[in-house]
Structure 1
Amino acid sequence: MSAVREQTAPHPPPSTPRPRRATGPGRRGPSKDGGHGIWPYVLIAPAVLGTLYLLVYPLGRAVVISLQDFGLRQLILGDAKFVGLENYGTLLGDSRFWEVVRRTFLFMAVNVVLIMVLSTLVALMIERLGRFGRTAVLSSLVLTWAMPVIAATTVFQWLFHSEFGIINEVLTDLGFTSFDRYAWFAHGPAAFAILVALIVWQSVPFAAITLYSALTTVPAELYESARLDGASGLRIFRSITFPVVRPIFLLVISLEVIWTFKAFVQIWVMTNGGPGDATTILPVYAVQTALSSQRYDLGSAASMVTVVLMSGVLAFYFRQMFRQEDELA
């Protein structure tokens, strides 16, 4: 009986082997990097090469020139000799350079504060407007933002022209006769103030639109709860609005620091850094040094110091920002 049972006992069905994926010239198996191969690197190669050529190479070339004795002769013949940090020592020992550094930070601080205050107010105003008013204001901001820098600078030059400027005419008609044929660009504080107004006017549209976009992410329920609790507008902004939009607010500040720190075109077209050195900041100082006495080495050194100072300001700013985020977390 046992033998019969053994013979008639059912056998388990044989396991069916899984079909192997075809690997041939038409279809490759998965590679070690997830099956993508080198194609992602091939696709981003043009962008990487363009960035290296347009950004990294000029920066590296400026660093090399700042370490050389590089004047007009060396520019033509190409026999520049390395002098180490001699150019930086000459630059840092110049009292005019430190005066320009002080003016640069003052220019940056005034512009950034005005830009952020005005942009925040404009963004809050847009949020409270109706559909038609919001569209009109946003369209105006976009058109202002799209105006070329040279065109905007030329407009401001004509506005404050001593003979044909509308500003002098309006002030004279209002009874301020001292502004008749007043030469704005011949006075240092006046020229400085006009440049600040120009930079702020060009920067507010971008900052205001960005902040308005951040304001749209604040839940309306928070505002309603705060109003029911009797919170004032300032308290609502401080306790609800600003904490929500704070990351975007800090990002805009960092962008505006970079924008104002490297402002060159407006100053060069409008005043060339004058009168005297009243509107000379570090980028203008670097170009003046390179072009006036053909000292391209000192100009490159000034540019490198500008990059280091701007990087230091941003590093300090980001450190404070991350520290505050850690405290809130």
Structure 2
Amino acid sequence: MSTTTLQAAPPSAPAPRASRAITPARLLPWLFLAPSLAVLAVITGYPLVRMLWLSVHEYERAQLLGVPAPFVGLDNYTATLTDGRFWTVTARSFAFMVVCVALTITLGTLVALLLMKLGRALRLVLSVGLLLAWAMPPLAAMLVWGWMFDTQYGVVNHLLTRLTSTSWTGHPWLIDPLSFFAVAALVVVWGAIPFVAFTLYAGFTQVPGEVIEAAQLDGASARQRFFGIQVPYVRSIYVVLVVLSMIWDLKVFTQIFVLQGIGGIKSETSTLGVYIYEMGMAQGHYGAASAIAVIFTVIMLVISAYYVRATVKEEEL
């Protein structure tokens, strides 16, 4: 009976690693990016480093005159996180953000669908109106909205008096915090709808028409076609719009600040952006304001983490 001797094959030599030598071809992209990176470091990097430095020092008005700022470590963060007003303002800001984002995405979707249904002439008229609303500076828009809701001479009170059986003359829209934020949400959503509508309109136009026609022939309703075909096609666009709207609405400043100047109660209507301004510029607590700004930045990074991760995954596919 013969036996066969099996001999293990010699291990193959490891594949040579790719050369990582620095070559002109590797350096060329960084040379093109160097000017932009330098400008970005100066414009964004320095304020961020300065904000971090201020947040760990007791920087008050006296330090503006050259008095050295004492190092306090994490005392500003501890004082902020144990301050009841900070959490009240944060909860108020998030509640305002949720309402604004929901209204912006919903109304922006409806306007985008309307743009697809209108004829060429009406679509052009609506697009021009949206562009004018989008291009108007926030401060100028707030002055117009402030006059519209003015207590004595506002056109809103006048129209409500003419359309209803009750008198709205002298009604103070900005005194009550609930109506104040209703007006603020109206202004913020009004200015954000054009961007959402145009972006979704561009996405909806890329949905294959034959797929929608096939679903219509199969008996799918308009609602089923929208949620079953159009929304999945533009899902990534919705993710971007929601994340950007959350960031923009959380850091809203001009609309709230101007409405407070017209007639709002600051202690009951401040959001995070206005609260940081009050702590720093109004009260002179620059160290505490910087600590709040750092915490606010961390919140923004947490919110945008999902978007960044989803974008990286899409690029890897």
TM-score by structure 1 length?
A: 0.84
Give the residue type in structure 1 aligned to 2:304: L
**Is the 1:66–1:301 Cα contact (8 Å) retained in structure 2?**
yes
**Is the 1:286–1:302 Cα contact (8 Å) retained in structure 2?**
yes
Give the residue type in structure 2 aligned to 1:66: S
| Identical pairs, percent | 37
Aligned-partner Cα distance in 2 for 1:316–1:38: 32
Q: Which range moved further: 87-96 or 46-55?
A: 46-55
For 1:296, the equivalent position in structure 2 comes to 286
Aligned-partner Cα distance in 1 for 2:257–2:165: 30
Match of 2:132 among 130, 140, 143: 143
> How many residue pairs get matched?
293
For 2:142, the equivalent position in structure 1 comes to 153
**Is the 1:162–1:181 Cα contact (8 Å) retained in structure 2?**
yes
Aligned-partner Cα distance in 2 for 1:102–1:306: 13
Task: Indicate how the Cα distance of structure 1 residues 107 and 318 shifts in structure 2: closer, same or farther if over 3 A, else same.
Answer: farther
**Is the 1:74–1:80 Cα contact (8 Å) retained in structure 2?**
yes
Match of 1:117 among 85, 90, 106: 106
Give the residue type in structure 2 aligned to 1:311: L
CA apart distance, 1:179: 1.5
**Is the 2:80–2:292 Cα contact (8 Å) retained in structure 1?**
yes
**Is the 2:59–2:285 Cα contact (8 Å) retained in structure 1?**
yes
Match of 1:167 among 132, 137, 156: 156
CA apart distance, 1:278: 3.0
CA apart distance, 1:276: 4.1
**Is the 1:67–1:84 Cα contact (8 Å) retained in structure 2?**
yes
CA apart distance, 1:39: 5.0
**Is the 2:243–2:303 Cα contact (8 Å) retained in structure 1?**
no
Match of 2:255 among 256, 259, 266: 266
CA apart distance, 1:38: 4.9
Give the residue type in structure 2 aligned to 1:145: W
Aligned: 1:308 with 2:267: no
Aligned-partner Cα distance in 2 for 1:308–1:209: 30
Q: Which range moved further: 133-142 or 268-277?
A: 268-277
Match of 2:90 among 93, 96, 101: 101
Match of 1:284 among 252, 256, 274: 274
**Is the 1:189–1:278 Cα contact (8 Å) retained in structure 2?**
no
CA apart distance, 1:256: 0.7
Aligned-partner Cα distance in 2 for 1:301–1:62: 8
Provide the secondary structure at the position in 1 that maps to 2:174: helix
For 2:46, the equivalent position in structure 1 comes to 57
For 2:9, the equivalent position in structure 1 comes to none
Task: Indicate how the Cα distance of structure 1 residues 84 and 136 shifts in structure 2: closer, same or farther if over 3 A, else same.
Answer: same
Unaligned segments of structure 2, at least 5 residues:
1-20
Aligned: 1:217 with 2:241: no
What is the CA deviation profile of residues 277-326 of structure 1, one whole-angstrom value per residue up to 9, with x for unaligned ones? 3321111111111123211011111111111122222325666xx49x99
Aligned-partner Cα distance in 2 for 1:223–1:67: 58
For 1:29, the equivalent position in structure 2 comes to none
CA apart distance, 1:34: 6.2
For 1:24, the equivalent position in structure 2 comes to none
Superposition map of 1:31-70 within 5 A: 35-36=24-25, 38=27, 40-70=29-59
CA apart distance, 1:258: 1.1
TM-score by structure 2 length?
A: 0.87
**Is the 1:184–1:191 Cα contact (8 Å) retained in structure 2?**
yes
CA apart distance, 1:37: 7.1
Give the residue type in structure 2 aligned to 1:132: A
Aligned-partner Cα distance in 1 for 2:275–2:165: 36
Q: Which has the larger radius of gyration?
A: 1
Unaligned segments of structure 1, at least 5 residues:
1-31
Q: Which range moved further: 181-190 or 160-169?
A: 181-190
Q: Which range moved further: 62-71 or 125-134?
A: 125-134
Provide the secondary structure at the position in 2 that maps to 1:235: helix
Match of 1:195 among 158, 163, 184: 184
